[in-house]
């Protein structure tokens, strides 16, 4: 599933190819991913252009000159593709055709993504009950999340109502860099461990963006290049695989000991 680093990379891609181009038409190859009727999208988008973009958690917002924003959530397999017309990707679910004879397509093989519209990003975030963005959250807010809850550490990191943007892949890396076992109860963390978890969250997500969200290319001291069945931790130990909150979890029992 595209997580915060993926969406930030998509944002950079979107900005490089789709800003300040007049929209000629909009196509709907899979209407089930839309949160509103197609006619509404045509009314808002046709003849307008994107002025800028923003990201919050796993959501990408493409801001239009008329005050609306196109909302994109990429589900499990979504991404953007900009190409000349005709579009050749069979997994396009929603496409924006520009007057320059190019098209921006929302590609999503499994069709779990969503496309919507809003006039207020703040209202959308409130309606979705999203927590602070993982790259913007303050240490004080972060600390309050973990010191008051008895749940296991990893599910709390994944809960978008507490922190927006972290998914299964980077949660494993954040916990590895923090040297914390994924099953540790959050309210048993020491202040120093919370501080380490906070700094690791920022470090891992920024590093992933720097590496264009290609986990296999991260430094060898990271878990993700070794995150596969039979993989070895950088310390030389064997990586274990368990289920935590229903999610497949990779960790090193030598580096990430339980309390």
Burial of 257 (0-12, 13-18, 19+ CB in 10 A): exposed
Catalytic (active site) residue 3: yes
Nearest-10 Cα torsion for 174, 177, 179, 184: 0
Q: Is 2 a catalytic residue?
A: yes
Per annotation, catalytic residue among 2, 5, 132, 182:
2
Write the CB contacts of 52 (distance below 8 Å, at least 6 apart in sequence).
15, 19, 63
Active-site residue, from 3, 5, 55, 227: 3
Q: Which one of 11, 55, 58, 114 is the catalytic residue?
A: 58
CA distance 4 to 174: 13
Specify whether 36 is catalytic: no
Contacts of 82 (CB under 8 A, 6+ apart): 13, 17, 18, 102, 103, 104, 105
42 catalytic? Reply is no
- The distance from CA 201 to its chain's CA centroid, rounded to whole angstroms, is 13
* Catalytic choice (43, 195, 247, 253): 247
Residues acting as catalytic residues: 2-3, 58, 247
């Amino acid at each position: 599933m595209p997580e915060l680093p993926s969406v930030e990379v998509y944002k950079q891609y979107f900005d490089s190819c789709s800003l300040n181009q007049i929209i000629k038409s909009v196509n709907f190859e899979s209407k089930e991913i839309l949160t509103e009727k197609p006619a509404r999208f045509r009314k808002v988008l046709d003849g307008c252009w994107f002025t800028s973009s923003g990201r919050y958690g796993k959501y990408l917002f493409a801001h239009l000159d008329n005050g609306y924003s196109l909302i994109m959530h990429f589900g499990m397999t979504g991404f953007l593709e900009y190409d000349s017309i005709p579009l050749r990707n069979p997994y396009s679910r929603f496409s924006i055709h520009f007057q320059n004879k190019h098209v921006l397509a929302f590609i999503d093989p499994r069709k779990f993504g969503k496309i919507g519209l809003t006039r207020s990003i703040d209202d959308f975030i409130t309606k979705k009950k999203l927590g602070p963005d993982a790259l913007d959250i303050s240490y004080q807010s972060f600390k309050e999340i973990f010191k008051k809850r008895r749940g296991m550490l990893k599910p709390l990191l994944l809960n978008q109502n507490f922190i927006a943007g972290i998914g299964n892949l980077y949660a494993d890396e954040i916990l590895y860099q923090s040297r914390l076992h994924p099953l540790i109860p959050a309210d048993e963390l020491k202040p120093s461990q919370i501080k380490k978890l906070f700094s690791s969250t920022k470090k891992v997500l920024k590093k992933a963006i720097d590496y264009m969200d290609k986990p296999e290319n991260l430094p060898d001291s990271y878990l993700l290049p070794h995150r596969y069945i039979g993989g070895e931790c950088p310390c030389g130990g064997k990586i274990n695989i368990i289920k935590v909150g229903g999610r497949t979890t990779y960790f090193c029992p030598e580096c990430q000991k339980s309390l």
